[in-house]
Structure 1
Amino acid sequence: MTSRPLLRTSLVAAAAGVLVVALTLLPQDATSSPGAATDQVGTWGTAADATSLALADQTVRNIVRTSVGGTNLRVSLSNAFGSRAVTFDSVWAGTAGAGAAVVAGTNRRVTFSGSTSVTVPPGAEVLSDPLPGEVPALSTLAVSIHVVGDAGTVSGHRLAHQTSWVSTPGDHAQDESGTAYATPTTSSAWVEALVVEAPEQVDTVVAFGDSITDGDRSTTGANRRWPDLLAERILQQPAPTHLGVMNAGISGNRLLNDGSGQSAQARFDRDVLAQPDVRTAVVMEGVNDLRWEIATTPADLITAYRQLVARGHARGVCVVGGTITPWEGGSRWSPAKDEIREAVNAWIRTSGEFDAVVDFDAAVRDQQRPSRMLPAHDSGDHLHPGDTGYAAMAAAVDLRDLECRRP
């Protein structure tokens, strides 16, 4: 059999002297399974939104971490909220090294329909050609994108809770060195998803929510959001039960109207149903509707939840309901709002309309004072968990519920 280049896991010393998981070019060997049935699975994803980035003839090096491993990496780029068509004439993907650097020998050009350049109209997105090779689970990748001219409004993710990098003017996507990347940013630009091929029994889970799913107040760059920790738990299980995890949280998001990002109802199709091989969505939304008095009765939220469940089921996607966590002491809390939260949570737990329930409320609340978060889980603002709180949320997910199958 003729060998072809593949990306294989190895340990390479970065410039700072730490060991990092790297992707190196090696011939195909016996660990591959030619001919085995595969599906395309989301190994990383974010919810696209408008960012405040201002970019013109610059390169953005987006730092992202995979969940499940696979082969034949594809990169999805989004201009969903762009104000004009954008042209990307140089897109590269490799293993992230120290700072803005890429591990030597791992950076590879990404093409689109065989071309090194692609123009994306406003409101559209594009999926790259497959990049042959193996992508390890939980690997940190650098996706570098050079935009031609003034990009206008940049689609991406405003609060990525990860440090990415913006270059000085020019195409620096191929650079392994991080020297040209002078500006750190905690927003990502254009990259919306990473897709790999995995055994056909491996599917995608989408965590869909607001800032608590987005990981606000978690440690930047440490991958301590609850969906990250859930991905790690899944990978501790036997390989046939692995699942890719995509994070479609947007800080400040609401169920009932636009605000920080489009409403959950407006973006559900794009951020969940359109993702590759989705089996299950875990929905945790509603606290911002309560905080800003958009929802003033339990029925307001329940009606919206029912719509998401119905739309998911119509596409064969299981929908797991996440209870709303407490926030007494946080901004815009009141006893009346907490009564609505409790009533909505009771419906989520007992209605039977979701395929399963994750009781995030029970996982983080103070049992002696259920309207507030347990101090050990509180980030300090009384609304968002800290790293330990996110760990408790991830631990609350019954992994069997993620393997739900709709008839």
Structure 2
Amino acid sequence: MNASSWGVLALAVCAWPLLAQVGAPRWVSAWAAAPCGVAEEEPHFDDTQLGDTTVREVVHLTASGLAVRVRLSNTFSTQPLVIDAIRVAPAMKDGEIDPAQSVELKSAGKSQMTVAPGKWLVTDAANLPVEAGKDLAVTFYVRGKVSQPSVHYMALQTGFEAKGDQTNAAKLADAKKTPLRLVVMGVEVASRTAPYTIAAIGSSTTDGAHSSPNQNRRWTDDLWRRLQEARGANAPAVVNLGVSGNRVLHAGRGGWGPVWGDAAVGRFNRDVIAQPGLKYVVAFEGGNDIRQPGSGAIPMEESVTAEQLEAGFKLMAQAAHDRGAKFIAGTITPFEHADKNRAEDPRWEKTRTAFNEWARHSREIDGVVDFDAAIRDPEHPARILAKYDSGDHLHPNDAGYQAMADSISLDLFQ
């Protein structure tokens, strides 16, 4: 935790008596995203050139609470990030808000806040009742030019950018839409009902690739809805820390080469362990480690064995256990015919199935969710079942994501 975060923690503790008057709230992560490395060749890179810019992001909360605070990331930049104003409000259609319900956020009691290079900052707590299953608008203004803010590429939720300080505007004037997450990488709430947070780490299938935009149809969203149906207001929060292109043991890369994000074992403490209220981790990745080496900018020297993947999962499990959380592994889903431009290596399927067998029977983890069994074709186990296939033979469609969520035993989460 950086120095700014300790200051925020102290302020939150000072504010605690006010919160405690209405119950015994606990801080839980109610929404999160993982920052990616900046890729200048990314098609939407122009959207990350901030300066005299207001950004409004809409996030879907999975816990109700009495107060909120926001996590701001400057993880991959070499320059300080100065946020001149930031506010939160219940989100309405197309990112609009009611200014009368908008609340200013501060850091160390100040409206302007600076996030140091390579660090993150959590704002002071602000009293704003929020409801699980509802959208929250987080609006911030950056006066000075920022060329490399933290980015999460697959938001699957429309954001908005506009010139000037419009942080308290009902609707941003002359706004352009953006498909990216910028700077805002977490919303934490002081909750009396959500008992803890479940954090999912993974690659594009956790990130929700090919699910319906603005519909919250990732498997993590579907899991949270199941938990809410089963447990009502006492359902735990679920946050998604998937990064498209992520790998367990090596940095993820896009087709052109720039790094999209640290390896799962490298980002685990920053992205997962740091989530407040964490009690369970679901880790679902490894397919990219198996099939990507030898394609694009990824050398064959980064090929992995099932045993190496298992070692990576054991490292993450130990980190979770040290935090007092339980670690659950997901089996790797099929990907036959996903590579159209090169021949498939028969070793890929052997590695995938060997890892899955380890996950199903390992005593070094606390549970398994068998995503492989949930969406594979029984007649061709190396392929996704057609009705769950988004069309690229790698990522599920909405029905496939729902099938994945439905395959998870809720008894894993006590």
TMscore range, shorter length: 0.7 to 0.9
Rounded Cα–Cα distance in structure 1 between residues aligned with 2:240 and 2:282: 10
Partner of 2:396: 385
**Residue 28 of structure 2 contacts residue 194 of structure 2 at CA under 8 Å; is this kept in 1?**
no
Give 1:35 deviation, angstroms. Answer: 5.0
Identify which of 238, 257, 261 aligns with 1:245: 238
Structure richer in strand, relative to its length: 1
State how 1:226-375 maps to structure 2 within 5 Å: 226-239=219-232, 241-259=234-252, 260-293=260-293, 294-331=302-339, 333-375=344-386
Structure 2 residue 185 is matched with structure 1 residue 192: yes
Amino acid of the residue matched to residue 383 of structure 2?
A: R
Partner of 2:256: none
Partner of 2:25: 38
Structure 2 residue 34 is matched with structure 1 residue 47: yes
* Helix, strand or coil at the partner of 1:237: helix
**Residue 199 of structure 2 contacts residue 238 of structure 2 at CA under 8 Å; is this kept in 1?**
yes
**Residue 301 of structure 1 contacts residue 344 of structure 1 at CA under 8 Å; is this kept in 2?**
yes
Give 1:239 deviation, angstroms. Answer: 4.2
**Residue 193 of structure 2 contacts residue 234 of structure 2 at CA under 8 Å; is this kept in 1?**
no
Structure 2 residue 140 is matched with structure 1 residue 129: no
Rounded Cα–Cα distance in structure 2 between residues aligned with 1:201 and 1:117: 31
Structure 2, unpaired ranges of 5+: 1-18, 39-44, 253-259, 294-301
Give 1:238 deviation, angstroms. Answer: 2.7
Give 1:147 deviation, angstroms. Answer: 1.0
Deviations 1:51-93 (A, max 9, x none): 4311111011111110121110111111111231011111011
Give 1:303 deviation, angstroms. Answer: 1.1
Partner of 2:101: 106
Give 1:165 deviation, angstroms. Answer: 0.9
Partner of 2:173: 179
* Helix, strand or coil at the partner of 1:49: coil
Instruction: Say which is worse superposed, 153-162 or 172-181, in terms of deviation.
Output: 172-181
Structure richer in helix, relative to its length: 2
Structure 2 residue 208 is matched with structure 1 residue 215: yes
Structure 2 residue 127 is matched with structure 1 residue 116: no
**Residue 226 of structure 1 contacts residue 394 of structure 1 at CA under 8 Å; is this kept in 2?**
yes
Give 1:230 deviation, angstroms. Answer: 1.1
Give 1:353 deviation, angstroms. Answer: 1.6
State how 1:68-107 maps to structure 2 within 5 Å: 68-103=63-98, 105-107=100-102
Structure 2 residue 69 is matched with structure 1 residue 61: no
Rounded Cα–Cα distance in structure 2 between residues aligned with 1:37 and 1:300: 44
Amino acid of the residue matched to residue 412 of structure 2?
A: D
Give 1:148 deviation, angstroms. Answer: 2.2
Give 1:103 deviation, angstroms. Answer: 3.6
Give 1:106 deviation, angstroms. Answer: 2.4
Distance 1:257 1:313, change over 3 A: same
RMSD: 1.7
Give 1:201 deviation, angstroms. Answer: 6.6
Rounded Cα–Cα distance in structure 2 between residues aligned with 1:201 and 1:97: 24
Amino acid of the residue matched to residue 31 of structure 2?
A: W
Amino acid of the residue matched to residue 302 of structure 1?
A: E
**Residue 84 of structure 1 contacts residue 152 of structure 1 at CA under 8 Å; is this kept in 2?**
no
**Residue 213 of structure 1 contacts residue 225 of structure 1 at CA under 8 Å; is this kept in 2?**
yes
TM-score normalized by the length of structure 1: 0.87
